[in-house]
Amino acid sequence: MGRQSDGFEDEREEELRRRERAQRYARARREKERQLRRRRLLRVCLAGALCLAAVIGAVTVIARAVGKKSGGAGAQKAQAETAFGESVRDVRTGDEADASGETGAAYRASGAAGYSAADITGYDVAEGAEDGASGGMGNSGGAGNASGGTENASGDTASGSGGAGNLTGSAAAAGQGGGTDGGSGSTGGAPEQSGIVRVGDAEFLAGFTAQETEDTHGVDPEQVTSTYALLIDESTNEIVAEQNAHEIINPASMTKILTVLVAAEQVKDLDEKVAVTIEATDYAFSHDCSTAGFAADEQVPVRDLFYGTVLPSGADAAVALAIHAAGSQEAFVELMNEKLEELGLSATAHFTNCVGLYDEAHHCTVYDMAMILKAAVENDFCREVLSAHTYTTAQTEAHPEGILLSNWFLRRIEDKDTGGEVLCAKTGFVNQSGNCAASYQVTDSGRPYICVTADAHSSWRCIYDHVAMYSLYAE
């Protein structure tokens, strides 16, 4: 009996264990089914939200278009891409520029794919240096051959014809000259007449001040994410829209706009051959800057240094240009600060280097940068350089086929709906100022505008902030 009783108890315990296992399995299965139902419900909700956002975006575009036609007060120009659409694009591209290498370790850590270090011209690598630090579509170290386009927008070997004077024209005709000053071409600005400065086909109101009016807009933060933003109508010198326009920032590589402006006022012969000193190449290397790709002691035309400074935001070109123009970078920086004083900006603007490296004493406001860009755009040669989408440097022993340089901001914004054509641009990045850019556009109606933004969270977002500023507030 004892043995039978023991066997019965064992069977009973085994049965209880089987039931417990079955109950645990059933509970786990029910929990899994609940999770699946929750996921399905979440997907349905997300799909509904996307559809609703798309409908709202379409209604917003239609409403703006209707408001624009009716001439209602405060109506804004319809924007092809709503804030939702732009956000989706940023997600779809994985903020491609964040992985372009343009900011060294900081950006390489972002994990998004697509572009190399020179994809966005003028974005500084690491502590204020710039794109072009490595491989891919951009400049690659010493070789510096920037790919991503086959057109050569500037005749790099053309010389001024007939004793050329002031250089005019677009990036497609670099080196062609006019006038009678003699030499191979100076870099003087456009003449001023009766308070009007002729800039290409546009007309600027003279002067380097701009005023807010009762019609000045505050910037819509849902459309423009940059912390600092400014749009100026250069035909009236009126601030059309602004946000924190007079707060101090570090201008990063937007600095190079002033670099080429001051150099253009010092250089007399753009075709003179000069050596890119080891001081210039070492400066770029030691500060982890982007480069145009010139080799140490390479003999290049001065003209190429201008394009190398702007398009790939090359520190090697900028320092070489400064040394050629003033004898040293320190002496050149003195000229830069004298120019800021001449423009009436010295109260808030002061530069310590010609590249845009971060320094507490290297600063300005986006308003100051707008005035600097205006002065550069009024200079024929600077406008030519800032408007070049691509440029091939002269053939040398170090670079038998020259170096192909690209302004990626211009190349990426050219197919966006800004209500006109963005003609000139220079970008920048340091951690302290985020992604920033200064650009010049002439609208379809012929009005000239300058836009400056700073502290965008990505290089693509910076581009779309300029698209939004132009399309929302320009006429």
Catalytic residue numbers? 253, 256, 313
Could you tell me which residues are beta bridge partners of residue 428? Answer: 436
Helix (H/G/I), strand (E/B), else coil: 429: strand
Residue 272 neighbours by CB distance under 10 Å: 14
Q: How far apart are CA 347 and CA 155, in angstroms?
A: 40
Could you tell me which residues are beta bridge partners of residue 391? Answer: 405
Q: How far apart are CA 16 and CA 19, in angstroms?
A: 5
| Crossing angle for the helix pair 315-326 and 278-286, to the nearest 10 degrees | 140
Residues 338 and 221: beta-carbon distance below 8 Å: no
Residue for token digits 């002033």?
A: 258
Residues 376 and 438: beta-carbon distance below 8 Å: no
Residues 448 and 202: beta-carbon distance below 8 Å: yes
* Residue 100 tokens, joined: 């372009």
Helix (H/G/I), strand (E/B), else coil: 174: coil
* Residue 2 tokens, joined: 């004892």
Residues 230 and 247: beta-carbon distance below 8 Å: no
Q: Is 355 exposed, middle or buried (0-12, 13-18, 19+ CB in 10 A)?
A: buried
Q: How far apart are CA 167 and CA 173, in angstroms?
A: 10
Q: How far apart are CA 114 and CA 250, in angstroms?
A: 28
Which residues make Cβ contacts (< 8 Å) with residue 37, sequence separation at least 6?
none
* Residue 463 tokens, joined: 């581009």
Please give the distance of CA 376 from its chain centroid, rounded to a whole number. Answer: 17
Residue 46 belongs to what H/E stretch? Answer: helix 2-70
Please give the distance of CA 165 from its chain centroid, rounded to a whole number. Answer: 32
